[in-house]
Amino acid sequence: MFFGLNKKKATRRRSVFRVAFFIGGVFFLFFVAYKLFFFLDAKKEEQLVERDEDIIRLPHSDIEKLEAGDFILRRGYGYFSNYIARSFNSTPYDVTHVGIIVKEDSVLSVVHVLSSDVNPIDGIQKSGLGDFLKTSYPHKLVITRLKNQPKEVREQVALKALAYNELTIPFDHAGDYENPDKMYCTELVWRILEKDLKLVRIPLKKEERDLHFYSMKPMYDTVYFDFVVNQFQ
């Protein structure tokens, strides 16, 4: 009798092992396919960036207009940029990424947030303006400036962005905009403007906040911002 019970237990263990092995295999294949997709997409993006490297993204006359605390919106390359461009914008502004202009010793840089799936560095990072522009689709840039705020306040936005950059915060794959331990690009902007410096009021109801945070549209909404440069006009 005990032999029969042990045999049943062994059979169940083998069944559980087979199921676990199968599930593990499926997840492994999914992980490999996921990484392969981003690898191939990154290679394609590199080719497109190289193709367009001689195209001036932002003329010197427009660069002279930039100030610390401005927001730079670009249309990127790649599959997910295409998806964001189609799904989270109003025509014609098919921008897909935003960063904050900072100035240190008269040198302009951009603090922004990217995932390691599409970039060598994960999370918040500081890029030279030229490097940021190099991966921007030609003639697809918008520069905005916080509405009705003096230069001194806008400089505080830039300083706060630099402070966040020092914290090396990872990318927020879950999209939890209320959690400051991880962030994505628009989340960084709104956290500084709403939570840290209390310069803007944005929707409080969850449904409205979801629409606000998971879209590029508010980043060029004239309720909050003025246009400094608009290549879509």
Convert the pLDDT of each residue in 178-193 to its tens digit.
888 999 999 999 999 9
Domain ranges of the chain: 60-230
Burial class (CB in 10 A: 0-12, 13-18, 19+), 67: middle
In angstroms, rounded to a whole number, what is the distance separating the alpha carbons of residues 233 and 230?
A: 6
- At 163, the pLDDT band (50, 70, 90 cuts) reads very high
| 98-143: pLDDT as tens digits | 999 999 999 999 999 998 776 778 889 999 999 999 989 999 999 9
pLDDT over threshold 60, residue 36 = no
Can you name the CATH fold of 60-230?
A: endopeptidase fold (from Nostoc punctiforme) (3.90.1720)
